[in-house]
Structure 1
């Protein structure tokens, strides 16, 4: 009896614990009943039917009191279909990611909605695709507010039903759509042209490396890619015509340095550049090199690198540039004898440069094209006002706080305000600042992003008509993308190739129509688009004022020679 009684006791205890656990589960059922009853729905963001309410911020229409174009429309979500504006989209795919709220809204046509809960500075973004074509995005803030982002208008989403079938039944029987393109016929002949400036690394005998520069001319007619051309140096379109921009070696009283030069191509008679390698020995202790990182219509961003020699001599970019204050000229005007002297001097330099060099400093500068001799550069506040000053101060405070360095202070705010440039990230141009923690190059310099949108006088056009994530899904090895204002072609870069895709239904076509070899390590520093009749005039100017070469399209069929 005792054994039976003990067994009964343990069985009773086990049943009691089980009942308690089950009762605990049952208490949680009402809160998550829909998830348990429909396990497939929990994988669908925003499952059910929603109504688009008033925009959380001013519409892009800019008209006070005007109703946003899609206010009052309903959107229905299911695992495989989506209903919007009485249109049915099939083969739906969702992509959810957590992003920085400030970076997300930086390249939108209107600013950050005031009533958006910024929380910890992050939001959830759900991108919706139909048959692998981008449709639109939805965001959710820290408090759970859901906002639809459609054609650069924002709409607060209010849930009206957990069901999807009702909105599906009321949808019209129109043909299924692949995108939300506005109605209307496209231009019968879309013509786009792109001047793509690149910086190309080259090896040097001293092991420090250097750069050369070039420009690609890429054009299309009705999404059909025409012959692609290439020329040395940067060929820059400006309001007053075309300019050439390049880096050359100039000799001053302190030695040889990199110097930026620019001239308008209509100036037929250029002046001969003075001081080119006149004294080869000057280069022994003078190491000031410039790398162009961005070129716009009116401004150029550069990275200045200063080296010091073992004997302690240091030459900064400001001193060296002041010593080499020679006039801007066309390189074509340099005589053959001078060209030969330059080549001879370059050969001698490798033999007589015997002082080991160490990196002294790397700084960023932004210069006006009309005054490249302004070696001081301009301040961030000159570009974007006091917002620029505050953005830089806040960013520096954050980066120093997280750096682990103690007692670091910025001694010269005015000089620090000049230490900025533009850099490329996720298909857009962003401001970047830099700080030298100890001011002497002994500690590694630190770069930081600035939450500011470059003004239109610095970046005239910076729009992607194909989402970055869509492009990366299709081409994981791609590192950059540029899309035409005509929305007809996309120019995509990998580390070794340029790919050109037609744009169809807000996405890339299945296959590229052109593929070109790109020198390893090349980086884009300029992208200027021309449309319509400008395509013809730009191409004529490019050919007339440059020594061009045809770039082979690797997708063209090989024609065997007889």
Structure 2
């Protein structure tokens, strides 16, 4: 306290003032004191500078990652529910979502055409490559047949009509794509397939080494003379259907194929004991050959189920049905298929999450880089971005034909994307 403060204090401590309480002299002293306080330097506070620096750093982080943060938060906002109600409407897409994609999806598609009049049921095939181009995810190549990657090459699979003097067949064949194989045209005329086939095949699955075919053999019962149809499923290696010339055989069990035991070795034993399948009958065999236990799992298939490729074992123990068809019943195999059969088959999102986003979904594929998700419905394939989680904004939609389904999904990443784009255009599109 200085001299001015002491003097003022003594004045106020005396008995009641003899003059008016607030004199001019007192007012001047108070104003002078206020002026002195206002010009004193403020003490230095070291924590204040640190606080300002921290606030500036946080603001910079928010600015740099603002778009990404907005993308993540948007998933939980009401627009997600709105999107499920209007799944067919393309929502706004952030440019950086597509420009950051480093994956390409090679899809093999099969269309089943029903029998009409004298024309038999048959299937056609096409391949589509979905890849980034000019910072946009789009369809970059499309063509007939199934373009399947195998080792360091691409192979072309498709239906081919084979005939002998006594037999006629429509079989799945394969050849190196670079050889430009002549496969049957996708839209074959009704006249070209009006005659019933003794043997017909349909592709169910194509991986990077193995394929699955459904096989039908039509013949006559030697005792009654009535027509009989035998139905089978087989897993084969690609080279099993790629000899210089495939032979027409009405003994499918004797044709090259991969048994479940041949693939899984000792792991197949408990599965076969649990499921107890029976071997298929073949044309011309006696009734005593029916019902023989299948100890190797000769007949099985690979199918899609809730976004995964799974194995199903065929059991031929059921009796002949009323239509004269000797078929089979499929049973789920309780084991995960190895990566040598199905690669990149892990989902980044749950099936329940996919159904919430797209209630009409029947299948889904997610990229190995976890940068986009392809949802399959009966009518289209819808692609969504994935940035740490699924973003409900459509990147693209590709229509599907009626009765069209996915039989192959192969992925390329990083530097292989451009290589696949070049080769797919060369092998799929007319030159």
Q: Per the shorter chain, which TM-score range? A: 0.5 to 0.7
Contact 2:138 2:396 in 1 (8 A): no
- Higher Cα radius of gyration: 2
1:226 aligned counterpart, secondary structure: strand
Aligned to 2:364: 481
Aligned to 1:29: none
Contact 1:217 1:539 in 2 (8 A): yes
Using the alignment, how far apart are the partners of 1:265 and 1:468 within structure 2? 35
Check if 1:263 corresponds to 2:175.
yes
> What are the within-5 Å matches in structure 2 for residues 359-378 of structure 1?
360-372=229-241, 375-378=255-258
TM-score by length of 1: 0.50
Q: Which digits, 9 at most, give the CA deviation of each residue in 1:466-487, with x for residues without a partner?
A: 2111010111101111111111
TM-score by length of 2: 0.64
Deviation of 1:491 (Å):
1.0
Aligned to 2:121: 209
Q: 1:440/1:378 Cα in 2 relative to 1: closer, same or farther (>3 Å)?
A: farther
Check if 1:297 corresponds to 2:208.
yes
Check if 1:545 corresponds to 2:414.
no
Contact 1:365 1:421 in 2 (8 A): yes
Q: 1:469/1:312 Cα in 2 relative to 1: closer, same or farther (>3 Å)?
A: farther
Contact 2:344 2:367 in 1 (8 A): no
> What are the within-5 Å matches in structure 2 for residues 176-191 of structure 1?
189-191=100-102
Using the alignment, how far apart are the partners of 1:238 and 1:220 within structure 2? 23
Aligned to 2:270: 390
Using the alignment, how far apart are the partners of 2:152 and 2:381 within structure 1? 30
Contact 1:230 1:548 in 2 (8 A): no
Aligned to 1:91: none
Aligned to 2:298: 418
Using the alignment, how far apart are the partners of 1:225 and 1:281 within structure 2? 39
Check if 1:226 corresponds to 2:138.
yes
Aligned length: 312
Aligned to 2:413: 531
Q: Which of 259, 263, 271 is equivalent to 1:379?
A: 259
Contact 2:277 2:293 in 1 (8 A): no
When structure 1 is superposed on structure 2, of 369-378 and 358-367 the one drifting more is 369-378
Deviation of 1:422 (Å):
0.3
Aligned to 1:31: none
Q: Which of 309, 328, 339 is equivalent to 1:456?
A: 339
Contact 1:380 1:417 in 2 (8 A): yes
Contact 1:367 1:375 in 2 (8 A): no
Deviation of 1:258 (Å):
1.9
Contact 1:189 1:221 in 2 (8 A): no
Q: Which digits, 9 at most, give the CA deviation of each residue in 1:390-442, with x for residues without a partner?
A: 313312379xxxxxxxxx9841525x622101000010000011112257666
Structure 1 unaligned residues grouped into runs of 5+:
1-128, 134-185, 274-279, 315-356, 399-407, 550-562
Contact 2:106 2:411 in 1 (8 A): yes
